[in-house]
Amino acid sequence: EQIEKGGYDHFMLKEIHEQPNAISDTYRGRLLADKGIIKMGSVDNNITKFLNAKRIIIVACGTSWHAGLVGEYLIEEFARIPVEVEYASEFRYRNPIISKDDIVIAISQSGETADTLAAIKLAKANGAFVFGICNVVGSSIARETNSGAYTHAGPEIGVASTKAFTTQITVLSLIALKLGNLKGELSNSKFNNYLQELKLIPSKVTEVLKINTEIEKIAAIYKDAPNCLYLGRGFNFPVALEGALKLKEISYIHAEGYPAAEMKHGPIALIDASMPVIVIATKKGHYEKVVSNIQEIKSRKGKIIAIVTKGDTVVKEIADHVIEIPETEEAFTPLLTTIPLQLLSYYIAVMRGCNVDQPRNLAKSVTVE
């Protein structure tokens, strides 16, 4: 097992560090930035269905559901196709309205989640075209879907999903950009700029991974917090949800993720000097508004850990801690902002003596209801 961990203390840490390569593997052969092309056989072969889709419904569970939410923002932004994101467990039992003009995208790392599989069967029975985004090759979901794209992240052993999440977002980015360009929503020049920027993501992830000692210090300060709040807006709202889920899963600290602007409708009541609040405040994503949320937290004495764009000076003045990420297109920031949140949860869990790779009561893949 030590050999399989490749010198890391835990599979989770290894998988966090594998992300630059995993993301490159996801777009290898697909993202042909120099030619200005995204090549995806499974999308190309069904392109009429995709271009004529009236609606895309994404079904998933857990972390994959969070990737689906990022997918909603990406597909609506670039391709202008309406997207709904559903928990597979709700979708399968609530008699959803599904038509032949709908595309259902099922996202699953393992490809074995029972609820997601049942949602796929229901969608197919109602005539929808079902596209899978899976990591495990030959899995039940990969076989059950009409078509699909693998994430090629490699085996994910840690129960808390890390590289599966970022590679799922990578596949969704490729699909959204490709459809956007083909539908004429994204001009060739904008499309090309996005491709060039996407190509730089793995090296930027590597850069973020280098700040792990800083994150370890922050973890040492907050490891005994009973609660934690995660805030983000736009593309980073799902990242806030995912950050909170990671902390809950492996450190057993109660954490909630919220869209930053919703703070005033509830969570603000919880903020006092003992409440760490992790805020994603990158430059382009509704920055000014998030800064005013940070001020509101500060005036209630909450402790602020902010994820900011490199060179930020405003948030640095107010926050207790800042973690810098390199600049990128706003739509791609989830691929970077997620990394420090994974590391923060990891270090907190280790410091609390938790079983990081196999947290209590959780399974890597939930194959029963």
Does 366 sit near ligand G6P (CB under 6 A)?
Answer: yes
In the three-class reduction of DSSP (H, G, I as helix; E, B as strand; rest coil), residue 232 is classed as strand
Residue corresponding to tokens 């078509």: 147
Q: Give whichever of 209 and 366 is closer to ligand G6P, judged by the CB atom.
A: 366
Residue 67 CB, shortest distance to ligand G6P, in Å, is 8
45: region left, alpha or beta (phi > 0 left; psi from -120 to 50 alpha): alpha
Contact between 342 and ligand G6P by CB under 6 A: the answer reads no
Exactly one of 5, 223, 283, 364 is catalytic; which is it? 364
Which residue stretches of the chain are H helix? 11-17, 19-27, 41-44, 47-52, 62-79, 88-91, 114-125, 140-144, 163-182, 188-209, 212-222, 237-251, 287-299, 314-318, 334-351
The residue among 116 and 293 lying less far from ligand G6P, judged by its C-beta, is 116
Q: Is 223 a catalytic residue?
A: no
Query: Does position 62 bind ligand G6P by CB under 6 A?
Result: yes
Residues 208 to 247 in contact with ligand G6P, rule: CB under 6 A? none
Site membership for ligand G6P, residue 151 (CB under 6 A): no
Stretch that binds ligand G6P, among 9-17, 22-30, 185-193, 358-366 (CB under 6 A): 358-366
In angstroms, the CA 192 to CA 31 distance is 11
Which letter does DSSP use for residue 32 in this model? E
**Does 349 contact ligand G6P by CB under 6 A?**
no
Distances, alpha carbon 95 to alpha carbons 58, 69, 169, in Å: 16, 21, 28
Q: Among residues 63, 89, 236, 328, which is the contact residue for ligand G6P, using CB under 6 A?
A: 63
Q: Which residue is nearest to ligand G6P (CB)?
A: 62
Q: Which stretch binds ligand G6P (CB under 6 A): 33-41, 229-237, 290-298, 360-368?
A: 360-368
> Of 211 and 366, which CB lies nearer to ligand G6P in the complex structure?
366
Find out whether 127 and 104 touch, Cβ atoms under 8 Å. Answer: no
| Of 56, 80, 350, 344, nearest in space to 211 by CA | 344
Q: Which of 64, 170, 173, 338 binds ligand G6P (CB under 6 A)?
A: 64
Site for ligand G6P in 32-61 (CB under 6 A): 61
Sheet holding 254-259, edge to edge: 254-259, 227-232, 276-281, 303-309, 321-325
Q: What angle do CA 340, 346, 347 make, to 5 degrees?
A: 90
Least distance from ligand G6P to the Cβ atom of residue 365, Å: 5
CB nearer ligand G6P, residue 110 or residue 293:
110
Please state the closest distance from residue 118 (CB atom) to ligand G6P, in A.
12
Show contacts with ligand G6P in window 102-121 (CB under 6 A): 108-110, 113, 116
Active site residues: 364
